[in-house]
Amino acid sequence: MNLIAGVDEAGRGCIAGPVVAAAVILGKEKILGLDDSKKISDHKRIKISEEIKVKSKCFSFGVVSSKIIDKINIKQASILAMKRAVSGLKVLPTEIIVDGIDSFEADCPVKALVKADNLILEVMAASIIAKVYRDKLMSDLDEQHPEFIFSSHKGYPTKKHIDAINTYGIINEHRKTFRPVKKINE
């Protein structure tokens, strides 16, 4: 039986917060509305994420903190998050399909495919649950640091986020090696 684990990450382009990867092996039940997470509204994404968690054969998350991102760089941190997500799966896949160009060693074949989050259902599912999980982490961070309005921009370098950094400085969750955080931190 062919068991594909779809893998995708969320938060790679952010200047604050962790990078989160998800790995999903779908079950037999269909999940309507699967697509690239960026093409789905927040409300719908949350609903579909819950359905994925119930109907999938298994899923797992891998999280790498901003501190580690600064130490090893975002590419290596994304790969580490993906490895952690795959290693947390309770069922061993026969193949892993990763969205993008970055691959890694695993106990089965790993295929990196650009735009896999538009083509492969398992990767779409991983894209959705990774985004929902990371967004929740950023909303939780917003409660601790409301001045940064993380629940609005989720750590991406928006004008409001940059303005908040210029006004309040940076916190531990900011990625200090990323522009414009690096510029302010100098």
pLDDT in tens, 16-29: 999 999 999 999 99
| Residue 156 belongs to a domain | no
| Residue 101 belongs to a domain | yes
CATH number at residue 102: 3.30.420.10
CA atoms within 13 A on the CB side of 116: 24
Q: Considering its fold, how many domains does the chain have in total?
A: 1
Q: At what angle do helices 121-144 and 42-55 cross, to 10 degrees?
A: 120
| Residue 161 belongs to a domain | no
| Residue 174 belongs to a domain | no
| Residue 169 belongs to a domain | no
| Residue 60 belongs to a domain | yes
Q: Tens digit of pLDDT for each residue in 65-116? A: 999 999 999 999 999 999 999 999 999 999 999 999 999 999 999 999 999 9
